[in-house]
Amino acid sequence: MAKVSVIGAGSWGTALASLLCKNGHEVTLWSIVEAEVEMLREKREHVDKLPGVKLSESMEITTDLQKAVRGAELMVLAVPSPFTRSTARKMAPLVEKGQLIVNVAKGIEESTLMTLTDIIEEEIPGCRAAVLSGPSHAEEVGRGLPTTVVAGARDRETAEFIQNIFMNQVFRVYTSPDMLGIELGGALKNVIALAAGIADGLGYGDNTKAALITRGIVEMSRIGVACGGRIETFQGLTGIGDLIVTCASVHSRNRKAGYLMGQGKTMKEAMDEVKMVVEGVYSAKAAVALARKYHVEIPIIEQVHAVLFEDKSAREAVAGLMVRDKKVENPLLPWN
């Protein structure tokens, strides 16, 4: 049994806290919102974001960050990506050298183009940062449906420690040394999911969805490999796997926001209706900036960016993708 803290009591943080309790660990769940903590203590359920998932009476729920951080063998940082830096900064004076922080949010910081573990290491220099990611909607993890994810760390021992903490009969954890690829895959797939949602909102069909997923993983891989990630990662759970689930699932907030925009709503109207952080909106700007920095072609992501920030209509964006210059699908394949 390990002493584990989950920093952030949204749907994903709450689902992971529940899983960790079921694994027999001593779990503390932290939220900065007093009303949320009171509700979780009283109802033993996140009635707004994760209804139906009952929390163990043994789980401690608190607004006291010091209580959550001090003595924890592993901390799960589960706040939305735009709040990763500010939360890490609050944690920094409390974290002891060598404490392990596992990021489970998905995003790229727009202003710096840093991954979230890079931000954690910058704000908390003495910690060990790692990542846990994959096709894993909180609603299904909370219900105990079979799920697979990847633990990424700078050394095998840390990755295997995380694997042992989280893994059980319905939550399978693989390990990987490619932290960069894992994080870029998790962030970039949200932008493609916006595109898939837009296509659904426009009334397009399965052919369109398949095209967006297939060509979307090409764009994700181009950016990821140019930044230093491994192509194998984008072919795995945190690349194509996470992309499929986020483009297709009714639980996907990015797909839902895209769907609403495809139906004619503005970005702000869509985000307000989803009522949770739509991380693909933040990642779109960073993705375009990375592509320009490394001179890679990302037509789908660029069209999503145009819909989000340049007042381009969704239908015009799709038309722009279809009438581009003729291309070879894979330029690495030789002709006889």
SS (H, E, C) the chain: CCEEEEECCCHHHHHHHHHHHHCCCEEEEECCCHHHHHHHHHHCEECCCEEEEECCCCCEEECCHHHHHCCCCEEEECCCHHHHHHHHHHHHHHCCCCCEEEECCCCECCCCCCEHHHHHHHHCCCCEEEEEECCCCHHHHHCCCCEEEEEECCCHHHHHHHHHHHCCCCEEEEEECCHHHHHHHHHHHHHHHHHHHHHHHCCCCHHHHHHHHHHHHHHHHHHHHHHCCCHHHHCCHHHHHHHHHHHHCCCCHHHHHHHHHHCCCCHHHHHHHHCCCCHHHHHHHHHHHHHHHHCCCCHHHHHHHHHHHCCCCHHHHHHHHHCCCCCCCCCCCCCC
Q: Are the beta carbons of 305 and 188 closer than 8 angstroms?
A: no
Q: How many CB atoms lie within 10 A of CB 306?
A: 18
Residue partners of 43: CB distance under 8 A and separation at least 6:
none
Q: Which amino acid is located at 307 in the chain?
A: V
Q: Choose, from 106, 189, 209, 256, the residue flagged as catalytic.
A: 189
Tell me how far CA of residue 188 lies from CA of 38, 149, 225, 288, in angstroms.
35, 17, 13, 10
Catalytic residue check, 268? no
Q: Which residues participate in catalysis according to the annotation?
A: 189
